[in-house]
Amino acid sequence: MDAAARGEGVVSLPPHRRPIPGIPGGGHPPVRERPGSVRHGRERRPTPAGPGPGGRVKVSVGEDDRSAQGGPGRVVPGPSRERGPMIDGTTLVFAGLATVGFVALTLRAGVGTAVDGSRQGVLLLLELLPRLAAAFLLAGIMQALIPRDLVAHWLSDDAGPRAILLASVLGVITPGGPFLQFPVLATVYRMGAGVAPVVAYLTAWSLMGVHRVLLWELPFLGPRLTVVRLTLSLPIPFVVGLATRWVLQWR
């Protein structure tokens, strides 16, 4: 007697799943796999694919969870510091000062003088607008290219004196005026840079910026005064950064 006759190795199906002779596929619809089922020795896990229309969460089945390996399932951390509102207290203060100044100038010198002053302000804005646009574009590109964990590793407050020293060196060697520096620095700060390294960077850039030394100080004041001032100013950014770190710890 063969194995089929003895019933060995034959799986008994329930009556509603037994094939119907003469009908392709047995006359039953294929069994659909559920998320989390095991097939061919490989677990099929549901992977969140983000919210869909109406706030529902899409689930894609059949992809491995590769979060630990940094694959497609890797979770990208959000920014360390959220962006502030477009109109904050500082904006309201400056808008109020501009309004008061316009009214005061109108009462003192007439509407024509106030309008002429406003026109000069608009012309100054149009002159600086290309520089501001380029700086903001560069800041956005940096935010997209530089990993946040890299910024947090080298320039966060948890990195200690190493981050303060690195920020001091970067402040000295990074060229550019305030229209470039502050948008870029604000982006790096939002990506996780610490307060103490940012203070050290600004101090080094203000005291020993290479662009200012080479273009203005050295040609106009000479090498002797420049070398003396730079030598005395050299430890200041690092000391200020350490002092900032100490104040934050004891605050």
Question: What is the average pLDDT value for the chain, to the nearest integer?
Answer: 77
Rounded average pLDDT over 226-242 = 96
Upper half-sphere CA count for residue 195 (Cβ side, 13 Å): 8
What is the value of pTM for the model shown? 0.57
For the chain, counts of helices (H) and of strands (E) = 10, 4
- Measured between alpha carbons, how far is 221 from 225 in angstroms, rounded to an integer? 6
Q: What is the predicted pLDDT for the residue at 14? A: 59
pLDDT single digits (tens) 144-186: 888 889 998 999 999 999 999 999 999 999 988 888 889 889 9
232 residue type, one letter: L
Structural domain boundaries of the chain?
89-145, 148-249
Q: Which of 110, 201, 97 is nearest to 151 (CA)?
A: 201
Asked if residue 126 has pLDDT above 80, the reply is yes
Q: What is the predicted pLDDT for the residue at 53? A: 47
Quickly state the pLDDT bin for 39 (edges 50, 70, 90): very low
Q: CA separation (Å) from 35 to 40, 49, 197? A: 14, 14, 48
pLDDT single digits (tens) 19-37: 666 555 555 555 555 544 4
Asked if residue 134 has pLDDT above 90, the reply is no
Extract the tokens encoding 217.
């100080």
